[in-house]
Amino acid sequence: MAELDVRKPLPAITPEAKTFWDNAAEQKLTIQRCQACQAWVWTPKPLCNECGSDKVVWTPMSGKGEVYSFTVIRQVVGRAASKSFEPDIPYVIAWVDLEEGPRLITNIIGCPVDKVELGMKVTVQFEKASEKIWLPKFKPA
């Protein structure tokens, strides 16, 4: 587990996303799924993006996926908050396709940045970012 670093900007726990963060704190990755049309709803919303139904239900994910795309961050620039990421350099920001379908923006951890590749199989690992927020990141499977 990464060292707790409260200087970094954290996601807001909105009413729509509270269940996501509550589940993440229990090491469970969940995504909303529309019960009317079966579409995945990500990011969290009260209504389905596809059909407008309010029958969106939090659904457990396997936590398995693969790297769709990624970039390696080798320097930080700009706002002061960005400086809080400096100790992590170099690090990877990636799109990960979950095996169930949804695509998340996340970090790849647990391997050298030059070992990350497209299509790499990964599995979720939650990192504690605050008392209430555990971030879903992904490591090589």
Q: Contact residues for Zn ion (CB under 5 A)?
A: 34, 36-37, 39, 48, 50-51, 53
58 or 85, CB closer to Zn ion? 58
CB 53 within 8 A of CB 47: yes
Within 13 Å, how many C-alpha atoms sit on residue 74's CB side?
Answer: 5
48 or 122, CB closer to Zn ion? 48
Query: What minimum distance in Å lies between the beta carbon of 39 and Zn ion?
Result: 5
59 or 123, CB closer to Zn ion? 59
118: amino acid identity, one letter: L
List phi, psi (to 5°) of 91: -140, 165
Query: What minimum distance in Å lies between the beta carbon of 54 and Zn ion?
Result: 9
Query: What minimum distance in Å lies between the beta carbon of 33 and Zn ion?
Result: 9
The two structure tokens encoding residue 110: 């647990």
